[in-house]
Amino acid sequence: MVKLSPGSRRDGRFDETAWLAQGGESMRKADIANEIYKQVGISKNEAADIVELVLNMLKAVLQKGDSVKIAGFGNFVVRSKGARKGRNPRTGEEIGITPRRVVTFRPSQVFKKYVNS
């Protein structure tokens, strides 16, 4: 049985009004762990370990080149960018940009609708 701390929401949704009342502008890993601690009722260390575990799993999957799809949230996709020519903005000199992989995030329609409501 999961116990809920005072002030946590029964539906498991994040209480953004409480976050904003604390002066929250950007959320860090520690803030996510703290919200898990408050809403689920596990220790702060366990909550931090869970956040770290989830992020490490995401990084490992993306490092392999696979995609991460989270229903109702969005997709993280690794794209390969080829070599190209660029310019030094200060001198105008043409330079070569090496090929690389980049991670892109595509929000789901549900997430877009939530953000814009």
What secondary structure does DSSP assign to 52-104, as a single string?
HHHHHHHHHHHHHT--EEETTTEEEEEEEE--EEEE-TTT--EEEE--EEEEE
pLDDT at 22: 64
Q: Tell me: the pLDDT tens digits for 56-106?
A: 999 999 999 999 999 999 999 999 999 999 999 999 999 999 999 999 999
Contacts (Cβ under 8 Å, ≥6 apart) of 101: 65, 78, 79, 80, 81
Find the helix or strand (DSSP H, E) in which 37 lies: helix 29-40
Whether 88 contacts 95, CB under 8 Å? yes
Alpha carbon separation from 24 to 15, 19, 34, 48 (Å, rounded) = 12, 6, 13, 19
For range 42-47, the mean pLDDT: 94
The domains found in the chain, sorted by start residue, are 1-64 (no CATH), 65-117 (4.10.520.10)
Residue with structure tokens 């877009």?
Answer: 112
More confident residue, 107 or 19: 107
Structure tokens at 72: 């109702």
pLDDT of 2 above 90? no
